[in-house]
Amino acid sequence: MTVRLGILTSGGDAQGMNAAVRSAVRAALDRGAEVYGIYEGFQGMIEGGSLIRPLNWDSVGGVLQQGGTILGTARSPAFLCREGRKAAVRNLLLQRINRLVVIGGDGSLTGAHILRQEWASLMDELVADGKLEPSVATEYNFLAIAGLVGSIDNDMCGTDITIGADSALHRITEALDAITSTAASHQRAFVVEVMGHHCGYLALMGALASGADFTLIPESPPNLDEWEEKMCSILRTGRAVGRRDSIVVMAEGAQDRHGNSITSAYVKQVLTQYLEEDVRVTVLGHVQRGGSPSAYDRVLATLLGAAAAEAVLSAKPEDEAVLIGIQNNKIVHQPLIECVEQTHRVNTCIRECDFEEALQFRGKAFRDSFRILRTLIRANPHPPTPSKRRLRVAIMTGGAPAPGMNATVRAAVRLLVDNGHIPLGVKRGLRGLINDDIHELNWMSVNGWAPTGGSELGSSRKHPQGTELYTAARVLEKHQVDAIVMIGGWAGYQAIHRLYEERHSFPAFNIPLLCIPASINNNLPGSELSIGADTALNSIMEVVDKIKQSAVAFNRCFIVEVMGRYCGYLALMSAIATGAERVYLHEEGVTLKDLEWDIDLLKKGFQQGKRLGLMIRNEAANSFYTTPFIAALFDEEGGDLFEVRQSILGHLQQGGNPTPFDRILAARLAWEAVRRIEEMALRRQAKSYAEVDAVCLGIQEGDVKATPLYMIPRLMNVELQRPHEQWWMELRPVARMLAQPGPGYFRQTESGGAGVAQTA
Ligand code: ATP
């Protein structure tokens, strides 16, 4: 029996849908299945004919960077009726399709679930009507479905994030950054409305990432009936303390505690009346759905697409329809209908004003972010409590600059000040500590830092030695420092570890020591992700997208070298995000045999019409087979078939404004640092401290966790400056599978297929 899989996108489009389609199609072809694209969503299924047609490896080439969906999407009223679904079943069976990957929102996934439930009875009706051969009905007696959530709103239960939400957040943050600068120039107030009927994710995270002054989300309307007064008083106080811009970010589904809708026009009217200011409204609208998908969305959609094809091809008749999502950084399969029903329950909670329950459904990360936002957007901090000890916390950045360092400092400073503590900014990391370059920071001294790249405090790779340790200890004593927060990369971690090791000689180091991971390389212990890596990945991806366009015109192969030192995270992830056919990692090594194999594949590809070659090489992949060496070798071997160019991306990877993902990560880690410092200080007061008051914080399985500092040497390959365990290494098979058709593909194409992928 032929195994045929159909794939469709439905409902509102979302960036990243194409990456999911590409990956599901290629994964299915790789397993030897035949794949049909169902164009225009469920409407295409109902109409059939040329709207259901075969896809091959190259039909989904070159689509990774495209927004929207190459399959088209539609809202189909006809599919809501049984007659419409009956026509759909007939058209699917005409092509012998009984396995579906459906990419859409909760409506589309509900439709898919209903289709599966009715499959047998609709087939019986078709047989009775004489429109279906009984033998076909017997052979294809079940429908297997895997659903992926493509929706910018991030409003679906069963997955921590939906395909498209991160890209929409990129659009929102870019817009908010731009509006902030014009608002500040004119001292204007802006009301910015973002998408989200029942879900405040985009408004909340957009406000957190951009440093807005007030936010309105459906899940948690302002407490008071007189919220208008409260909003105006926050904005007025903000002006009084020197804020030049006033930005209110609101979800389109914002409402008050009684369920009455709050419109952006109403917020404008209130602000104009009470603030007596020039107030402008910007409704971001469909801009949020548009544009090229972010790196995160491309990688997420790629992994989910491959998992969906796998699930649907291995499904048995009795298996339920599944939703494939991501939870705690792991791909998960869940009963589709349960996720849909839970999503509807949240929407009901919001409609019925049960906000506590709605927030509970949204999960811990959402609730934590909301709590953090409520502090960060205050015009003024809470005054210190007289009975509470005010801790003096030194904050510094160390190692190479990583985008998001400033956002972390800003969040840490504000959260400390709001809790009554005194943040001390140390200039240029350990160098500033040794030179006594330390200054008190306050609420407003970090105003506007969230969107900026680099490090305002300045950074260094200083590793304290000999008498410098004594000097550093004296400076800490002089400033009566109670705790140190190091926001940095490996050099910063090493410096703090050195202080930790010297605790027995210098009591001044015997204070809480916290490291927050900030490095584009993502090579730090105790964290799956470090601040700055997402920004660097997006910077690489944007450049490579342009390089790919230029390469096509000349039949070129590009060797692109990316940073990471001995850690291949940026290389592998950028290869997945850009569709590179080969990635060279230090972790895997590079041999002459590999290079010969790659030359062979390139030659075959270009002979068969390929126009572009893309290889990504980690900067330290191999000290002999350097980027210039590989480029020269390939160029020589390519002869007249193709040209080779190298591109060493360099420091552009360390620069740029942080992405929303990095800014949000910065806020979450800073919040946990402040919480822990308070906890450690209390424990010290009770004289029950232990070595756990020296820790590195990080994201592990979706949550913020702490790893004792003494474990660093055990967790790290110190010589190669990377952790022994790197979770992302598991993603290599997907990257490899998507780059080139495997034996499964050749088996199912009679002639052996095109032989080599012609497009990325
Ligand atoms: P978005 O989140 O962008 O709104 P969505 O998938 O929820 O995406 P909908 O318009 O709700 O978008 O649904 C898309 C299509 O799915 C509908 O036009 C319809 O064809 C089908 N569909 C939705 N709900 C059902 C249902 N209850 N029964 C059958 N089909 C449905």
To which residue do tokens 């949020």 refer?
288
The answer to whether residue 334 is domain-embedded is no
Nearest C-alpha to atom 26 of ligand 1 is from which residue?
111
Orientation angle between helical segments 660-685 and 165-186, nearest 10 degrees: 90
At residue 523, the pLDDT reads: 97
| Cβ 104 under 6 angstroms from ligand 1 | yes
Residue 608 has a CB neighbour count (10 Å cut-off) of 12
For residues 109 and 39, membership in a common domain is answered with yes
Q: Is 245 a catalytic residue?
A: no
* Domain total of the chain: 4
CA dihedral for 282, 286, 290, 295, sign (positive or negative): positive
The SS3 call for residue 517 is strand
Cβ neighbours, 10 Å, residue 400: 23
SS3 state at 164 = coil
Helix axis angle, 569-578 relative to 732-739, nearest 10°? Answer: 40
Query: Residue 256 is part of a domain; what is its CATH number?
Result: 3.40.50.460
d(C-alpha 1, C-alpha 22), whole Å: 25
Q: Write the residue with the smallest CA distance to atom 13 of ligand 1.
A: 107
Q: 80 and 128: one domain?
A: yes
76: in domain: yes
How many whole angstroms from 14 Cα to the centroid of ligand 1?
14
Q: Which amino acid is at 185?
A: S
Distances (CA, A) of 162 to 95, 186, 296, 301, 328: 30, 37, 11, 9, 13
Q: Is residue 664 domain-shared with residue 692, that is, in the same domain?
A: yes
Tell me if 381 is assigned to some domain: no
**Which DSSP helix (H) or strand (E) runs through 577?**
helix 569-578
Calculate how far, in angstroms, residue 75's C-alpha sits from the geometric centre of ligand 1.
Answer: 6
Res 751: pLDDT: 42
DSSP symbol at 261: B
Nearest-angstrom CA–CA distance, 137 and 749: 26
Does residue 518 sit in helix, strand or coil?
strand
Count of residues for the chain?
A: 760
For residue 381, the one-letter residue type is: P
Distances 542 to 171, 293, 451, 502, 556 between C-alpha atoms, Å: 15, 10, 19, 44, 18
**Residue 725 class from Cβ within 10 Å (0-12 exposed, 13-18 middle, 19+ buried)?**
exposed
What is residue 688's predicted lDDT score, i.e. its pLDDT? Answer: 62
Q: Select which of 106, 153, 245, 693 is catalytic.
A: 153
Query: So what's the pLDDT on residue 750?
Result: 47
What are the residue ranges in the chain where pLDDT is below 70?
A: 1, 184, 186, 224, 687-692, 742-759
Among 176, 119, 112, 171, which residue's Cα sits nearest to residue 142?
119
| Half-sphere CA count of 622, side-chain side, radius 13 A | 19
Residue 398 and residue 519 in one domain: yes
641 CA distance to ligand 1 centroid (A)? 49
Ligand 1 centroid to Cα of residue 569, in Å, is: 38
Residue with tokens 């007030």: 214
Rounded to whole angstroms, what are the CA distances from 433 to 438, 464, 738?
A: 7, 10, 49
Which one, of 412, 434, 535, 418, lies nearest residue 485 by Cα?
412
Residues 319 and 215 in one domain: no
C-alpha 755/C-alpha 760 separation (Å) is 14
What does the angle CA 305 – CA 307 – CA 309 come to, to the nearest 5 degrees? Answer: 70
Calpha distance 285→496 (Å, rounded): 46
Q: Is residue 350 part of a domain?
A: no
Residue 754 pLDDT: 43
For residue 102, being part of any structural domain is answered with yes
Task: Give the Cβ contact number of residue 543 at 10 Å.
Answer: 18
> Per the structure block, which two tokens stand in for 415?
């959260």
Given 288, 317, 340, the domain boundary residue is 288
Are 565 and 611 part of one and the same domain? yes
Task: Among 288, 317, 352, identify where a domain stops.
Answer: 288
Q: What domain range includes position 464?
A: 392-416+423-433+440-531+659-723
Contacts of 299 (CB under 8 A, 6+ apart): 573, 576, 577, 731
Ligand 1 neighbourhood includes 632 CB (under 6 angstroms): no
Rounded CA-CA distance 166/316 in Å is 34
The token pair that represents 437 in the structure block: 């370059």
Q: Take atom 20 of ligand 1 and give the residue whose Cα is closest.
A: 76
- My answer on whether 45 and 82 are in the same domain is yes
Pocket of ligand 1 contains residue 11 by CB under 6 Å: yes
Query: Longest C-alpha distance within the chain, in Å?
Result: 93
- Is residue 274 located within the same domain as residue 323? no
- The CA 563 to ligand 1 mean position distance, Å, reads 43
Verify whether ligand 1 is closer than 6 Å to residue 114 (CB atom): yes
In a domain, 279, yes or no: yes
CB 438 within 8 A of CB 471: no
In terms of domains, do 177 and 278 share one?
Answer: yes
Beta bridge partner(s), residue 700: 703
Same domain, 40 and 138: yes
Q: What is the pLDDT of residue 758?
A: 61
- Ligand 1 center to residue 105 CA distance, Å? 7
126: part of which helix (H) or strand (E)?
helix 106-128
SS3 617: strand
d(CA 275, CA 240): 12
Question: What span, in angstroms and rounded, lies between the C-alpha atoms of 99 and 72?
Answer: 19
Do 409 and 467 have their domain in common? yes
The residues, ordered by sequence, that sit 6+ positions from 52 with a Cβ below 8 Å of its Cβ are: 6, 36, 37, 38, 39, 44, 45, 91, 92, 95, 97
Q: Which two structure tokens, joined as six digits, stand for 624? A: 């002999």
Q: Residue 400 sits in a domain of what CATH number?
A: 3.40.50.450
Q: Is 13 in the pocket of ligand 1 (CB under 6 A)?
A: no
Spatial neighbors of 604 by CB under 8 A, at least 6 apart, are 755, 756
Q: How many CA atoms lie within 13 A of 685 on its CB side?
A: 11
Q: Is the CB of residue 733 less than 8 Å from the CB of residue 750?
A: no
pLDDT of residue 683: 83
40 pocket-lining for ligand 1 (C-beta < 6 Å) = no
Residue 302 within any structural domain of the chain: yes
Q: Render pLDDT for 56-83 as a digit per residue (tens, 0 to 9).
A: 999 999 899 999 999 999 899 999 999 9
Best mutation site among 17, 80, 115 for ligand 1 pocket (most ligand atoms within 8 Å of CB)? 80
pLDDT given for residue 187 in this prediction: 72
Cα–Cα distance measured from residue 326 to residue 330, given in angstroms and rounded to the nearest whole number: 5
**648 vs 705: CA distance, rounded Å:** 35
| Nearest alpha carbon, ligand 1 atom 24 | 107
Asked whether residue 175 falls in the same domain as residue 224, the answer is: yes
d(CA 519, CA 529): 9
State which of 266, 288, 310 marks the end of a domain: 288
